[in-house]
Structure 1
Amino acid sequence: MGHWWYRNIVEPGKLPLLLALASFVLTFLVTRAITRLIRAGKGPFGNLTPGGVHVHHVVPGVILMVLGGFIALAGGRRGFGSGVAAVLFGIGVGLVLDEFALILHLDDVYWSEEGTKSVEIVILTVALVALILAGFLPFGVNEIGPEESTDRFTVVRTVAVNFLFALVALTKGKGRIAVIGVFVPFVALFGAVRLARPNSPWARRFYRHRPKARARARVRAYRHDRRWSALRRKAEHIIGGAPSR
């Protein structure tokens, strides 16, 4: 375990990324716990309203992201400073993405159905960063033997090919499949060859003069959403709290 940790986390300079991910996830979970307590009127917590203005936690989140980013640029990828920068950046990202829906809609939709977009983007971000950390990318690793080098570059080549399929899946309106498919073989290919969602850029470009394809895309999207949306929303509500009615 120690050898794996050094070769794949410390030596390639991934430790700051790991610290940022851990602080990001912890900040999001703590923030959601506090906001749920505030919503229920429990505990010592409350909204910050200096001068009658509700200060959303996206504000300190942006400040921490800026601080962490500039410290990281000034200090490089290694050393104590890079660790501090990573933690500050991760905390800032956790606070900002927790209110992603508010930024997207420019409205306080935190406890509405639209607010679940924040939980969705957090899950996708965690999945993407975790997959990057888990990947055995060769960059920054010294003294790689021929066999290990071949294995690592095979992974890189696979990721590159998957990335092309992921781009197609993304233009077809399949963001979750695209993110996972960059690193998991055949997932992106599955999303790339399937029908696009009816409102996706791919559908607007290539289904414009194909009424049958548009109709099939609408039917398939309706069936998919009917089958999986309720389950996805339930999981999001467990993580982030159920919306207000």
Structure 2
Amino acid sequence: MVTFACTRLLVLLIMARKLPDLYVHVGGTHVHHLNFGIVVLAVVGAALLFAQPRGRWRDVVAAGYGIGLALTFDEFGMWLHLGGSYWQRASFDAITIVGGLLLLAAWVPPPVEWTRRGITAAGLMLALLAVFFWRLSLSLSPIEQRALPALERIEQQGPH
């Protein structure tokens, strides 16, 4: 969530020209940060496959996984719709859902320890998360309607 928030803030500041253009361009093509997220996820996958990190390195790999996931899903709307505005609602929704599911996964014990009561509790928690995300999506619509035109104007005026 920290990576997502920092990335959104950084992009907003670049688009509003409060920071210099820090975008990476290769041969005239803007390399979106979801590509960096994919690379980070690939490195994390390789580390888990080949190195089996322990101790401090395991924490580093876990942090890398979170960073890669945030960078990738921050532009979920753009890769889902193959373009469009950076400020697509689908990206925010994806980050919220992925974050909630990861929190749920961290709370649930390993499958070998599952009991009927634990499965019921996890199912209930999943249902509550679904209701929460649904209500959150409804409550954000008025905010989105007010903020999106301003964000899209900033995006149009910012560096490409």
TM-score, normalised via structure 2 length? 0.74
TM-superposition CA deviations, 1:44-80 (whole Å, max 9, x none) = 3432223211110111111000001111223437423
Q: Residues 238 and 38 from structure 1, CA distance in 2 versus in 1: closer, same or farther, beyond 3 angstroms?
A: farther
TM-superposition CA deviations, 1:84-137 (whole Å, max 9, x none) = 2212221111110000011111113313xxx110000100111111122234x2
Q: How does 1:233-244 map to 2 (within 5 A)?
A: 233-234=141-142, 243-244=151-152
Q: Which has the larger radius of gyration?
A: 1
SS at match of 1:49: strand
Letter in 2 for 1:233: S
**Equivalent pair of 2:85/2:152 in contact (CA under 8 Å):** no
Q: Residues 80 and 237 from structure 1, CA distance in 2 versus in 1: closer, same or farther, beyond 3 angstroms?
A: farther
Q: Residues 234 and 29 from structure 1, CA distance in 2 versus in 1: closer, same or farther, beyond 3 angstroms?
A: farther
**Equivalent pair of 1:36/1:241 in contact (CA under 8 Å):** no
Letter in 2 for 1:47: Y
Q: Residues 237 and 50 from structure 1, CA distance in 2 versus in 1: closer, same or farther, beyond 3 angstroms?
A: farther
TM-superposition CA deviations, 1:171-230 (whole Å, max 9, x none) = xxxxxxxx831xx4xx87x9xxxxxxxxxxxxxxxxxxxxxxxxxxxxxxxxxx9x9866
Aligned to 2:115: 153
> For the residues of structure 2 that align with 1:120 and 1:240, how far apart are their CA atoms?
15
**Equivalent pair of 1:68/1:87 in contact (CA under 8 Å):** no
Aligned to 1:92: 68
> For the residues of structure 2 that align with 1:133 and 1:239, how far apart are their CA atoms?
33
> For the residues of structure 2 that align with 1:80 and 1:240, how far apart are their CA atoms?
41
With a CA cutoff of 8 Å and minimum separation of 6, indicate the structure with the bigger relative contact order: 2
**Equivalent pair of 2:41/2:64 in contact (CA under 8 Å):** yes
SS at match of 2:30: coil
Is 1:180 matched up with 2:88? Answer: no
1:231 to 139, 142, 145: 139
Q: Residues 78 and 234 from structure 1, CA distance in 2 versus in 1: closer, same or farther, beyond 3 angstroms?
A: farther
**Equivalent pair of 1:116/1:237 in contact (CA under 8 Å):** no
Letter in 1 for 2:96: I
Q: Residues 121 and 242 from structure 1, CA distance in 2 versus in 1: closer, same or farther, beyond 3 angstroms?
A: farther
**Equivalent pair of 1:71/1:85 in contact (CA under 8 Å):** yes
Instruction: Quote the RMSD (CA, aligned, Å).
Output: 3.6
Moved more, 54-63 or 101-110: 101-110
TM-score, normalised via structure 1 length? 0.51
2:32 to 35, 56, 68: 56
Q: Residues 153 and 38 from structure 1, CA distance in 2 versus in 1: closer, same or farther, beyond 3 angstroms?
A: same
